[in-house]
Amino acid sequence: MHSHPHVAPAPAEEALRGAELRVTAQRVAVYRALAMHPHSSADAVFGQVREAVPGIALPSVHNVLGDLVSANVVRRVSLPDSDRALYELAQPADNHHHVQCVVCGSVQDVECAVGHAPCLTPSQSHGMRVLEATVTFRAICSECERKSSSND
């Protein structure tokens, strides 16, 4: 629905081989689920892959997500108004942020305003080389805005 507009995801098998991961039905199913539904929790991914991979268990989905995150195929996204980690495909040289509705929790990608990482520079880096800065815009989506104005 709202994957990254600038880069189409690589086919699952190609992405897994590129990361030197063995291509398995479970990994392919999880990758494809995230390609179709970015910003999904492990529970949501499990719901999406259950039919494609009969017998898969929730702990297996957690393991696959962990493997894909470690291999930089998937990115773990922690947002302030989310009670669990969300996952999305990691795209090479992608530097985007997120906007999250504070009412319904829906999440969308937002292009980086600066265009390069890190988009923010701390006042003091403590001698560390800053790799990225994560920005989450907290907002109210148009649907929630419409619902609240119709309730007034």
Domain edges within the chain: 1-91, 95-152
DSSP state of 40: B
Pairing of strands 86-89, 74-77: antiparallel
Tell me how far the alpha carbon of residue 25 is from its chain's centroid: 21
Annotation: binding site: 101, 104, 141, 144
Exposed / middle / buried, residue 61 (Cβ in 10 Å: 0-12, 13-18, 19+): buried
pLDDT tens digits in sequence order for the chain, 152 residues long:
344 444 566 799 999 999 999 999 999 999 999 999 999 999 999 999 998 899 999 999 999 999 999 999 999 988 776 778 899 998 766 677 777 787 887 878 787 776 666 667 777 778 888 777 777 778 888 999 888 888 76
Over the range 96-118, which residues count as b (16 or more CB within 10 Å of their CB) and which as e? bbbbbbeeeeebbbeebeeeeeb
Pairing of strands 136-139, 74-77: unpaired
The runs of H, that is alpha helices, within 37-78 are 42-49, 58-70
**CATH says 95-152 is which class?**
alpha beta
Q: Which numeric CATH code is attached to 1-91?
A: 1.10.10.10
Annotation: binding site for Zn(2+): 101, 104, 141, 144
